[in-house]
């Protein structure tokens, strides 16, 4: 997602794969089975199998955003209420506070120390939460805000994108809370570094939303940028490592999915994506690349050769996506619908 929550989606929901009718599914505890029927005409995609959205236990208007697998469930950020929450595989939610007031936590990941690490995008800080909800916050030491997305690095550290009006950088945070910001090798200007992931080559790979480039940073902090093969004004957002040894990324501005090899060769895919769709977060699971279409009520699935299939999902604005229990289910945060969607196959 871009820094501002600019996505607006109206979705229709789906019946469970068990075969229950929508009316019957509506009685499922702690879940919703349908959205208003008047939006159904927008959806040409078949429903994703066994999609369920959970709402109970989530503070109203919390704007769930980042999500990751962690101890005893999936953990997600509640951007608008400064909380971190855990949801079990059956949909039971527990919320935890202790974050910096007004910090707007954005993305979250499990670190090598088995703690949850998250960005406080409005507080110039990275937070650490234990599996029991204890929080400690570490300043990144630059200005009022900046840390955006975060990943667990191959070197045992946490790596994050840092974007502010005055500085774009890639950050490294040790599990002891010591930050370092790297800027050498980044193009000048507000390139808007966005998402970051650990690649199959042991380096970290990141997107430049305004810079229209993919970046690579080594554990030692050396940055290389790639732009060949990326269509102008692509609006690069999220990036993930695929099971094929490549990196896959979303071109939100163009409605495309991109693939880049570790040597920098880019291929773009659009066939199968609804015109006007905005691919957002991505994750690799079950031999495919899965991605949210943040304005089209849909979940996309790309094969490793770029064949794309779309499915309808029950989320108002599908934000982040991750893989967890049971059975490598997909878990999706619903930004404005204030819920968490679980997709089983």
Domain residue limits, the chain: 62-308
Residues of the chain with pLDDT under 50: 1-43
pLDDT for the residue numbered 41: 36
Q: Sign of torsion, CA 212 249 343 161?
A: negative
pLDDT for the residue numbered 232: 97
Torsion angle in degrees (nearest 10) through CA of 16, 22, 27, 30: 50
Write the DSSP symbol of residue 275: T
Closest CA to 333 of 110, 38, 7: 7
pLDDT for the residue numbered 44: 55
Q: Sign of torsion, CA 79 196 126 176?
A: positive
- pLDDT tens for 265-274 read 999 999 999 9
The domain 62-308: what is its CATH number? Answer: 2.130.10.10
pLDDT for the residue numbered 40: 34
pLDDT for the residue numbered 27: 31
pLDDT for the residue numbered 180: 96
pLDDT for the residue numbered 144: 64
pLDDT for the residue numbered 145: 72
pLDDT for the residue numbered 185: 97
Write the DSSP symbol of residue 201: T
What is the model's pTM?
0.87
Determine contact, residues 223/204, Cβ cutoff 8 Å. no
């Amino acid at each position: 997602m871009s820094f501002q929550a600019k996505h607006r989606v109206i979705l229709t929901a789906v019946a469970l794969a068990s075969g229950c009718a929508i009316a019957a599914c509506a009685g499922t505890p702690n879940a919703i089975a349908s959205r208003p029927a008047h939006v159904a005409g927008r959806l040409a995609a078949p429903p994703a199998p066994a999609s369920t959205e959970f709402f109970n236990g989530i503070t109203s208007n919390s704007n769930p955003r980042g999500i990751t697998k962690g101890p005893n469930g999936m953990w997600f950020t509640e951007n608008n209420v400064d909380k971190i929450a855990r949801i079990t595989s059956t949909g039971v939610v527990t919320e935890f506070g202790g974050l910096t007031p007004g910090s707007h936590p954005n993305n979250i990941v499990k670190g090598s120390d088995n703690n949850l690490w998250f960005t406080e995008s409005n507080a110039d800080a990275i937070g650490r939460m234990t599996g029991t909800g204890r929080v400690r916050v570490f300043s990144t030491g630059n200005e009022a805000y900046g840390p955006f997305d975060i990943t667990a690095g191959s070197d045992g550290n946490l790596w994050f994108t840092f974007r502010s009006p005055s500085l774009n950088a890639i950050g490294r945070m040790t599990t002891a809370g010591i930050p370092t910001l790297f800027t050498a090798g980044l193009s000048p200007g507000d390139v808007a570094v966005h998402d970051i992931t650990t690649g199959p080559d042991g380096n970290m790979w990141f997107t430049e939303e305004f810079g229209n480039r993919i970046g690579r940073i080594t554990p030692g902090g050396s940055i290389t940028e790639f732009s060949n093969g990326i269509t102008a004004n692509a609006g690069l957002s999220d990036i993930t490592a695929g099971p094929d040894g490549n990196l896959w990324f979303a071109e939100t501005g163009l409605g495309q999915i991109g693939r880049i090899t570790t040597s920098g060769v880019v291929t773009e895919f659009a066939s199968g994506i609804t015109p006007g769709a905005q691919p957002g977060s991505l994750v690799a699971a079950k031999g495919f690349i899965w991605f949210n279409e943040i304005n089209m009520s849909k979940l996309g699935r790309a094969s490793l050769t770029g064949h794309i299939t779309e499915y309808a999902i029950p989320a108002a604005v599908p934000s982040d996506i991750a893989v967890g229990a049971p059975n490598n289910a997909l878990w999706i945060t619903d930004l404005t619908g204030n819920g968490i969607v679980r997709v089983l196959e």
